[in-house]
Amino acid sequence: MRNGAVVLSGFGAGLNALDSWARYKDVVIGHNSHRYKIDLNWGALNAQFYPVKDCHEMVQDSKGRIVLLTNHTKNNVLIYSRSGQLLEVWGTEFPGAHGLTLNVEGGEDFLYITDNNRHEVIKTTIDGKVVMVLPFPQVSGKYDSPDQYIPTETAIAENGDIYVADGYGLQYLLHYNARGELLNVFGGKGQGEASFDNAHGICIDDRDPENPCLLITDRMRNKLKRFTLDGKYLSTINLPGAFICRPVIHRKNVYLATIWSGEGGEGTGFISILDEQDQLISAPGGITPRYEDGELKPMYQALKIFHHPHDVCVDDEDNLYVAQWNSGQTYPIKLYRV
């Protein structure tokens, strides 16, 4: 593994030499208003007791706790304090645990988990009690069999409507009401602007409360696409060289784990942060973002800090937690805003 030093250090909380610890903690990554110090050992656990495979996604709950979803069925959900102390684990029934979205409904936190292997979306309470399952959407008429449907992400609208991105399947976006009744299907695999090549992530962009809309990643094409809530294509944000996983809205910014960069080589990830004008303003681990004639110059990795970032969680103190796919079964990396 190319960045073996980094991956290994992610395993061994407290095993690094002190000078090493001090040295890398001085490194500041990112650009402009969004710069960070790095904690490689945040959340590192004894893998014999609390193993992870891919760390797919993370969210912060209403109590301020950090919730991590992994596809290891010994403990699919690990709940940490912000400082990285393990508080609780649950979940053994999600072999393809991939997408994790938190929604507050009637004052209570609920989680929406997409499972690649089960070909369904599972809604649970914050402590793991299943309250609803959205099965493979046969009713849509788009699918012949469950294995064509490999959901990767969900987004929940203000009214409780559920959007599911079938990012590893036929690339449709499925729009349900809060009771799980299918209302609309749009997107799909294809070449057009309203079509996708890996519709991996989706979120509700409610930064303008009068005009909420959807942001959906077109990962293999390095694009972030904006749609209306009823599935009409609006516009595209080009992020050449950035293979973006899912958009996460925090305050006025969009954060996107970028799993590969450049020509898409292994181990080339970084983090992308957009401002309100959809401009890439900071790329922790990547090169300095530069625009020429309004177009972003192709991005690529500058420092081998991340291997394959798959999601970024932004906490209430504006610090980041980066969950990684296929990165030596390492635990998340925390970035402290400076």
Chain residues binding other proteins by CB under 8 A are 2-3, 5-6, 9, 17, 19-24, 27, 262-265, 268, 287-288, 290, 300-305
Q: How far is the CB of 65 from other proteins (least distance, A)?
A: 29
- Of 38 and 215, which has the nearer Cβ to other proteins? 38
Judge whether 251 and 238 are in contact, CB under 8 Å: no
Q: How far is the CB of 47 from other proteins (least distance, A)?
A: 20
- Of 63 and 290, which has the nearer Cβ to other proteins? 290
CA distance 206 to 214: 9
- Of 110 and 331, which has the nearer Cβ to other proteins? 331
From its phi and psi, is residue 231 left (phi > 0), alpha (psi between -120 and 50) or beta? Answer: left
Q: How far is the CB of 80 from other proteins (least distance, A)?
A: 23
CA distance 173 to 247: 15
In sequence order, what DSSP letters do the residues of 4-55 get, joined into one string? HHHHHHHH-TTTS-HHHHHHHHT-EEEETTEEEEEETTTT---TTTS--S-E
The secondary structure of 47-91, three-state, reads CCCCCCCCEEEEEECCCCCEEEEECCCCCCEEEECCCCCEEEEEC
Question: Tokens 């290891």 label which residue?
Answer: 72
Q: How far is the CB of 314 from other proteins (least distance, A)?
A: 23
- Of 187 and 241, which has the nearer Cβ to other proteins? 241
Angle at 214 between CA 68 and CA 178, to 5 degrees: 70
Q: How far is the CB of 89 from other proteins (least distance, A)?
A: 29
- Of 33 and 138, which has the nearer Cβ to other proteins? 33
- Of 140 and 279, which has the nearer Cβ to other proteins? 279
Q: How far is the CB of 317 from other proteins (least distance, A)?
A: 24
Residues ≥6 apart with Cβ < 8 Å to 1: 7, 267, 307, 328
CA distance 28 to 299: 19
Q: How far is the CB of 295 from other proteins (least distance, A)?
A: 16
Residues ≥6 apart with Cβ < 8 Å to 312: 58, 248, 255, 256, 257, 271, 320, 321, 322, 323
Q: How far is the CB of 282 from other proteins (least distance, A)?
A: 14
Judge whether 224 and 239 are in contact, CB under 8 Å: yes
- Of 249 and 303, which has the nearer Cβ to other proteins? 303
- Of 24 and 50, which has the nearer Cβ to other proteins? 24
Judge whether 178 and 188 are in contact, CB under 8 Å: no
